[in-house]
Amino acid sequence: MRDAAGAPVDEAGLLDFVRGRFAEVEDHPVIAAATGRIGTRLSRLTSGAYEQCTELGFPATSVQALARTLRVRMADAGLVPRDIAESGMGYANAELPGDHPPHGAADDDALRPVGGVVHHPDSP
């Protein structure tokens, strides 16, 4: 795997970094309290038969899983970025270059809102 500049990515280092941050979140008092409440109730149900324990945590991950969960956020300058689908700018309906360009449109590097206007600096 390579980054945008073409340099090799240290996948193991990236995953160690992310897992460390997940562990920090799992140790947060709110998560720990929720784990305790779930465990207390489960113990009442399972004690005396086949006692169980619980833990809340994030699933084991891979670089590919991390990439799938990343979301682009954007907003006008000076505003807090939100998920791109909530921007109101039509980007949620955009097609990437080569994905069925509108009839007569050149295949270039622009995002094209589906069934609508081509947004590109060279467009009239």
Render pLDDT for 53-66 as a digit per residue (tens, 0 to 9).
Answer: 888 888 877 888 88
For residues 34 and 91, state if they share a domain: no
* Residues 82-124: tens digit of each pLDDT: 887 776 666 666 665 555 545 554 444 444 444 444 444 444 4
Mean pLDDT of 8-29: 88
Residues 6 or more apart in contact with residue 63 via CB below 8 angstroms: 1, 9, 11, 14, 15
| One domain, residues 8 and 61 | yes
The pLDDT score that the predictor gives to residue 92 is 62
Residues 64, 23 share a domain? yes
Residue found under tokens 């467009």: 123
Q: Does the model's pTM come out above 0.75?
A: no
What is the structure's pLDDT at 67?
Answer: 79
> What residue numbers bound the domain in which 106 lies?
71-124
Residues 49 and 96 in one domain: no
* Number of domains observed in the structure of the chain: 2
d(Cα 64, Cα 41) in Å, to the nearest integer?
A: 36
Q: Give the whole-angstrom CA distance, residue 92 versus residue 86.
A: 8
Domain C-terminal end among 70, 90, 112: 70
Closest CA to 62 of 22, 18, 23, 21: 18
Residue 69 has pLDDT above 50, yes or no: yes
CA pair distance 58, 37, nearest whole angstrom: 18
Choice among 32-41, 42-51, 73-82, 89-98 with the minimum mean pLDDT: 89-98
